[in-house]
Structure 1
Amino acid sequence: MQIKLIAIGKTDNSNLITLIEDYTKRLSFYIKFDFEIIPDIKNVKHLSEAQQKDKEGELILAKTQTSDILILLDENGKQMDSVAFSSYLQKHMNSGIKTLIFVIGGPYGFSNALYNRANGKLGLSKMTFSHQMVRLFFIEQLYRGFTILRNEPYHHR
Structure 2
Amino acid sequence: MKVTLLTVGKTEDNYLKEGIEKYLKRLKHYVKVEVVELPELKNTKALSEDQQKSKEAELILKKVTVTDFLVLLDEKGLELTSPQFAAYLDKKALGSVQHVVFVIGGPYGFDDEVYRRANDKLSLSRMTFSHQMVRLFFVEQLYRAYTIIKGEPYHHQ
Normalised by the length of structure 2, the TM-score is 0.99
Residue 140 of structure 1 deviates from its aligned partner by: 0.3
| Alpha-carbon separation, structure 2, partners of 1:89 and 1:11 | 25
Residue 99 of structure 1 deviates from its aligned partner by: 0.5
Corresponding residue for 1:135? 135
| Alpha-carbon separation, structure 2, partners of 1:79 and 1:97 | 21
Which letter maps to 2:137? F
Which letter maps to 1:29? H
Which letter maps to 2:87? S
Residue 39 of structure 1 deviates from its aligned partner by: 1.0
| Alpha-carbon separation, structure 1, partners of 2:99 and 2:151 | 24
Corresponding residue for 1:58? 58
Residue 98 of structure 1 deviates from its aligned partner by: 1.2
Corresponding residue for 2:42? 42
SS at match of 2:63: coil
**1:91 and 2:91 correspond:** yes
Provide, for residues 65-121 of structure 1, a one-character-per-residue CA deviation record: whole Å limited to 9, x for no partner.
000000000001000100000000000001111110000000000001000000010
SS at match of 2:129: coil
Corresponding residue for 2:156? 156
Corresponding residue for 2:33? 33
| Alpha-carbon separation, structure 2, partners of 1:81 and 1:97 | 21
| Alpha-carbon separation, structure 1, partners of 2:12 and 2:101 | 23
| Alpha-carbon separation, structure 2, partners of 1:12 and 1:96 | 35
RMSD between superposed Cα atoms in Å? 0.5
Corresponding residue for 2:114? 114
SS at match of 1:54: helix
Residue-pair matches, total: 157
Residue 12 of structure 1 deviates from its aligned partner by: 1.3
Residue 44 of structure 1 deviates from its aligned partner by: 0.5
Residue 50 of structure 1 deviates from its aligned partner by: 0.3
**1:104 and 2:131 correspond:** no
| Alpha-carbon separation, structure 1, partners of 2:126 and 2:156 | 23
SS at match of 2:140: helix
Corresponding residue for 1:126? 126
| Alpha-carbon separation, structure 1, partners of 2:22 and 2:81 | 22
Structure 1 residue runs of 5 or longer lacking an equivalent are none
